[in-house]
Amino acid sequence: SKGDACSVFSFTTIGDQDEMKMCLLLNVIDLKIDGVTIIVDCRTRKSTTMSALVELLPEIKVGFEDPFNTLL
- Would you say the pTM of this structure is higher than 0.85? no
Sequence-separated (6 or more) residues with CB below 8 Å from residue 45: 14, 17
What is the end-to-end Cα distance of the chain in Å, rounded?
21
Give pLDDT tens digits for 12-36.
888 888 888 899 999 888 878 888 8
Angle, helices 46-56/18-29, rounded to nearest 10 degrees:
40
Give pLDDT tens digits for 49-68.
888 888 888 887 777 777 67
Cα–Cα dist 48/27, whole Å = 17
